[in-house]
Amino acid sequence: MIRDLTTLRLFVRAAETGTLSEASEHFHIALAAASRRIALLEERMGVKLFQRSRNGLALTSAGTALLASARELLEHVRTIEGEMADFAGGMRGTIRLQTNPSAIIQFLPADLAAFHAQRPDVRLDLEENISVDVVNAVSAGTADIGIIIGGTPTGPLRTLPYRRDRLALLAPRGALAGRETIAFAEVQDREFVGLVQATALTRRLMEQAARAEIALRLRMSVRSFDGVCRMVEAGFGYGILPLIAARGFAASMNLDVVPLADPWAVREMQLVLPPTTPPGSLVQALARHLEEVASGAEAP
C-alpha cells in the first residue's frame, strides 16, 4: 500500500507540523501534488489519516498509529542509506561496540584510535553501558562485540581477555596524606559515595562488605565517575573508582587518591562476542587487535 518513501516522508512532516503547505514546501512539491499524494495514501489504506480544518491538520487514530510506524521505518531507511554511503565512500562495514564506563574512560579511546589507524575503512559505533546490559546487547544481536568487567555472567558468549585496572580510594584532600596504598578494611565502616547499584563496581564493594559481615554505608548513589568525585570533594563520604580515572578527575579537584592494596581491587576486563562470529570478520579483527594491545600493556 505504501509505494514510495517520498509520500511517507511527506505524511510524517505534515503530521509533525500540522500543515500540508509547510510539508510540501520542505520537500519542494507543489501543494496540489502533495495533497494528491496524501489522498492516494488514504485511499490505498482505506482510512482517513487527517482531520482537516481551518486550523490545519490533526491526526486521526489511524494517522497516529501510522506516524509511529512510519518514523521507525524511515529511521531504518536512514540507517541503510548511511551504511550504503559508507560502502560507496570506501568503508567496508560497521562494528557496533558496547563497553563499560571504566574501559572507555581509561584505555579504550587510544586502543580504538590505533585500530582506526590500521583500518580507516571500518566505522566504529560506540555505546557506553553497564556490563550486564553489554552482555544482553551482544546476546540479542544489537551489539557485535562488548567489553565488560570480569565476573559478569556471559552465558554462551565467547570471552577473550582485555585489560586490567586497579581500584583506588578517593577522599577529601588531606584525609589520606602520606599513604601510598590502603586496605579496604581500614575504611569499610566509613560512609561512601557510590555509583548506581547496577554497576559491577558497586556490586563488588557490596560483596566485600558482606564478606566482612558489615553493611556498606552507601550515603548516596550517582551515575557518573565525575559525580562520585564531586560528592567526595564536597565531603559526603569516601569513594572508590578505577585508579587511572580517579587520578584524571582528581587533577583538578581537592582529592586524595590512593590505590587499594586488596587483591580484589585488581579487576580483569573481558571482550564478549557471539560464538558464531566468523574468524575472518571485521569484528574478529577488532577483537584480535584489542586482545593484542592489552597483552602488551603494563599491568596496574
Residue 300 within any structural domain of the chain: no
Task: Give, for all 300 residues of the chain, the pLDDT tens digit.
Answer: 567 889 999 999 999 999 999 999 999 999 999 999 999 999 989 999 999 988 889 999 999 999 999 998 888 787 777 666 656 554 567 899 999 999 999 999 999 999 999 988 888 999 999 999 999 999 999 999 999 999 899 999 999 999 999 999 999 999 998 899 999 999 988 999 988 876 888 888 888 888 888 888 889 999 899 999 999 999 999 999 999 999 998 889 999 999 999 999 999 999 999 999 988 889 999 999 999 998 877 666
- Cα 160 to the chain's mean position, in Å? 20
For residues 210 and 126, membership in a common domain is answered with no
Q: DSSP letter for 185, please.
A: G
Cell (9 digits) for 276 = 558464531
Same domain? For 217 and 255 the reply is yes
Assess if residue 210 is contained within a domain: yes
Same domain, 128 and 275: yes
Domain span including residue 139: 93-162+267-295
Nearest to 155 by CA among 130, 175, 131: 131
Q: How many helices (H) and strands (E) does the chain have?
A: 11, 11
Q: Is residue 144 part of a domain?
A: yes
**Do 37 and 12 have their domain in common?**
yes
Q: Are residues 186 and 158 in the same domain?
A: no
Burial 90-122 (b: 16+ CB within 10 A, else e): ebeebbbbbbbbbbbbbbbeebbeebeeebeeb
pTM: 0.68
Contact 231, 239 (CB under 8 A): yes
C-alpha cell of residue 97: 561496540
Residue type, 172: P
Q: Pull the grid cell for residue 59.
A: 491526526
Whether 242 and 170 map to the same domain: the answer is yes
Domain total in the chain? 3
CATH code of the domain in which 156 resides: 3.40.190.10
197: which 3 cell numbers?
547499584
Give domain status of residue 278, yes or no: yes
The single residue listed with the C-alpha cell 582528581 is 250
CATH number at residue 10: 1.10.10.10
